[in-house]
Structure 1
Amino acid sequence: MKNFKIVLFLLLISLSPNIFSQENIKLFIKVKDEKNKPVPGAVILIDDVKQNRVANLQGVFKIRLQKAPKTITAFSPVIGVNKIDYQNGQNNITIKISKGENLLYKEKNLKEQSVNPQQFATIYDYLRGNVPGLNVSGTNITIRGFNTVNGNTEPLFIVNGTPVEKSTFSLIIPLEIEKITVLKGAETARYGVRGANGVIVVDTK
């Protein structure tokens, strides 16, 4: 029995370099705006993969990774986006994004995962439960009373006065919404052909 314990001990020692060489990195990420204020609800992407949680009310995001990332991105549909290179050994990271910087940032080759705010999981859940006059099926939105125009039923999306793509609209955090207005008929005239299927106007906090 004693000899068995000795052999087992020696075996563990021989394997230990491989066991302890595995990376286990804990990151503490702070997202701030140009005034050094926290950005709650910021979407975090690790190596261009969107995470299934967002920054908390203090703009803080914590995550444990098996290996060091190459890049970390923070995105807010209200402010903009900033992508940084990860420095090896860095655990406390601050990412600053400036107002209007790359506001129309589009996700490309990202793993689709839903964010998880307190009351509504996505902007589509918010629209389905709070905004009358809309038909919301999954991520498809149509404004009631509008017919197909050139085979397209998608309305125009306006966020804080700026037309945005649906991919950007989809990233809006429900907790950031201040007001949503649905425009029909003559109200869409100033948007021309782009507003042919109606307009959804979102103002954020």
Structure 2
Amino acid sequence: MKAIFKLTSIIFLVLYSICCFSQSIEVRGKVLIFDSIPVVNANITVKSTKETIKTNHLGEFKCECNIKDKLIVIAKGFNKYTIKVKKKSNKLIGKLKLAKIPNAAEVAIDKGHILMVDSFRDLAKKYSGQKDYSKYTSFMDIIRNEFPSLQISNGEIIIRGKSSFYGSNAANIEIDGVMTDYAALSSLSPTNIAKIVIVKGSDAAIYGVRGGNGVVKIITKK
């Protein structure tokens, strides 16, 4: 009797599971970036059926899927995102993130995924750490105003103090991953600078001997 009871229970659970997973429901959702900007024409693929639909001009979508299904969201310039469907899901929200590729924001715009272009660009700069240096006339002008703890001596940037008797303590310059000299700074337009990072101390050890006086790391808008 116990064996029959166990077998009956197993069959019941299997049938119940099949019933639950095969139950089709309609779900509605929205795909956003930065919590507020709709992502348009994003591909939404239902994992169980492989059906693909697209988000509309408001980033909204609706589709048929199973309970506990998964929706795969793909859009150029963004990381792939998975939305888990729950039985009580009334409004699904997919919050995308920009992909870690060059010009991810511009890729998304070029592919037609963003209609609120100005707001999107402003937020992309904010979250990427980019700053607007266009109000300055030169790179050294930026250093004087944005990095007051640094010194400028004889056209060089000093991170750790004044030059010693034995040689210059000038920091090294890196532009977009390439070590260069101070002459390159004269042709660098402030409007084309996305980010400036001062690398010093143990963080500069990755540069070896060249990082001894610190490194001024410049990232441009590509």
Return the TM-score normalized by structure 2.
0.36
Return the TM-score normalized by structure 1.
0.39
Pair member with larger Rg: 2
